[in-house]
Amino acid sequence: MTKEGLILIFANSVFWVGISFASGYLCHFIPFSFYNIKNPIFKKRFCELEGKLYEKVFFVKYWKDIVPEAGELIKIHPFDKKKLKSKEKSYIERFIIETCRAELVHILIFLSTPFAFLFNPPIGDYLMAAYGILANIPFIIIQRYNRIRFVKVSEKIEKKEEMYKRIQKAG
């Protein structure tokens, strides 16, 4: 390998690590209110078919648990999304917020891909584009899939709470 090749590998590595941490860090300073399911970025789309798109086309159930989870790396609002730790409504709502935040982080990283083209030769551009896609789209899929599921859980909890309140009021 040439000296220039090693420098490019190092530069690309620093670029991706830097963009990843900067995006993650930046997204922790955005208010929680931004991360909601009514925001056009995070709202459920008809084409997602209530999550079936991710199950039937991308087979997300089979691989989502084997990819790394970095929700606790940045200590501003640490939250581990690897396992469901509670079925309380407040926890589920926080989980939904964190799926939005993680999705935005990966969108920002993905959108940074063209900046790698500034210092790479044409073959490097193709490699960086492939990396930008392969390193971020799966995480976006996981966040959207999980959010659809957790919104359903939250809605069920809300219905149970409303029914309980009606029973309390009537009784």
- In this prediction, residue 48 carries a pLDDT of 97
Residue that has been written with the tokens 């620093």 in this structure = 14
pTM score: 0.88
- In this prediction, residue 54 carries a pLDDT of 97
Distance of alpha carbon 40 from alpha carbon 60, whole angstroms: 23
Q: Can you tell me the mean pLDDT for 125-145?
A: 96
- In this prediction, residue 13 carries a pLDDT of 95
Distance of alpha carbon 14 from alpha carbon 107, whole angstroms: 19
- In this prediction, residue 77 carries a pLDDT of 63
**Which amino acid belongs to residue 1?**
M
Distance of alpha carbon 32 from alpha carbon 136, whole angstroms: 22
Calculate the average pLDDT of the chain: 91
Q: Can you tell me the mean pLDDT for 6-30?
A: 94
Q: Are 26 and 108 in contact (CB under 8 A)?
A: yes
pLDDT tier at 161, thresholds 50, 70, 90: confident
- In this prediction, residue 166 carries a pLDDT of 84
Q: Is the dihedral of CA 148, 149, 153, 156 positive or negative?
A: positive
Q: Can you tell me the mean pLDDT for 49-55?
A: 96
- In this prediction, residue 153 carries a pLDDT of 93
Distance of alpha carbon 42 from alpha carbon 143, whole angstroms: 10
- In this prediction, residue 74 carries a pLDDT of 63
Please list, residue by residue across 139-158, b when 16 or more beta carbons sit within 10 angstroms of its beta carbon and e when fewer do.
bbbbbbbbbbbbbeebeebe
